[in-house]
Amino acid sequence: MKYLIANWKMNLGIRESIALSRAAMLSIQGSEVAPQIILCPAMTALHEVHKTIARSRVALGAQNAGPGRFGAYTGEVGLSQLEDVGCAYALLGHSERRAMGETDESIALRLKALYEQSNLTPIVCVGEKEKGSGGADAVASLMRILRDIDVPRNRRLIVAYEPVWAIGSGTPAVPAEVVAIVERLRDAALDRGAREEALHVLYGGSVNAGNAYMYLREPSIDGLLIGGASLKAAEFREIVDSARDVMLSQTEV
Ligand code: PGA
């Protein structure tokens, strides 16, 4: 299975979110082999997007998750509220959240709460700031986040390798380098109890319709986290088609 995560960030209102959700549904309609699409709209659009994609194979994710189910956390959206609105996934530790103060330690607390207090599947984002540092910081970051967490046996873990310098920059990482880092991230997660079949490691950073296939064709890259290109229905559809082509060529159903 290949995963395509659309991170719409703070870009869309409700109406545009519904329109893009419909386009995402159409892109896999009728095809037996299709990637798992996860849409991450703004919190304000979660409810309408959920209604739109109900009864389809498209799933809903939040762009962040609060550090508990409920409570006195002004401005946060709790795990219970995310489940209530139909989320099955949540991004944690996106670099844009880190730029506003989140750290490996605070992300670890959110992840622990998510596993202990919800059924959401986390998408943990890690990535080095400086180009050329070989992804060592990304691996160290994941190890710090997972240090006190045993991934529960019955739960999935999605890790997104997102070099900060590649996000929104138009300069994506080279696929061969991504493969090497993805493999190190996978080993780090396996060490913390993730099970091979329930662990998916993705790449994100300036992915577009022109380069998506280069990543998707790598068996060790389980999918893509897509920002800018996920805001354009036609371009996102091309990425979906690339994922489907790869899945068909690898005769995986
Ligand atoms: P980008 O964003 O595809 O626009 O580089 C990726 C992300 O921030 O997840």
pLDDT digits (tens, 9 = 90+) for 96-115: 999 999 999 999 999 999 99
Q: Buried b / exposed e across 5-41, counting CB within 10 Å, b at 16+?
A: bbbbbeebeeeebbebbbebbebbeeeebbbbbbbbb
Helices 136-146 and 104-117: crossing angle in degrees, nearest 10, is 50
Specify the length of the chain in residues: 253
Which ligand 1 atom lies nearest to the CA of residue 229? 3
Dist. CA 206–CA 165, nearest whole Å: 10
Using a 6 Å cutoff on CB, does residue 38 contact ligand 1?
no
| Tokens 């997972």 -> residue | 146
Using a 6 Å cutoff on CB, does residue 167 contact ligand 1?
yes
96 is annotated as an active-site residue = no
Residue 94's Cβ-side half-sphere holds a number of Cα atoms within 13 Å equal to: 21
Identify which of 160, 251, 253 has the alpha carbon closest to the alpha carbon of residue 203.
160
The residue-averaged pLDDT of 153-160 equals 97
For the beta carbon of residue 102, count every other beta carbon within 10 angstroms.
18
43-98: pLDDT as tens digits: 999 999 999 999 999 999 999 999 999 999 999 999 999 999 999 999 999 999 99
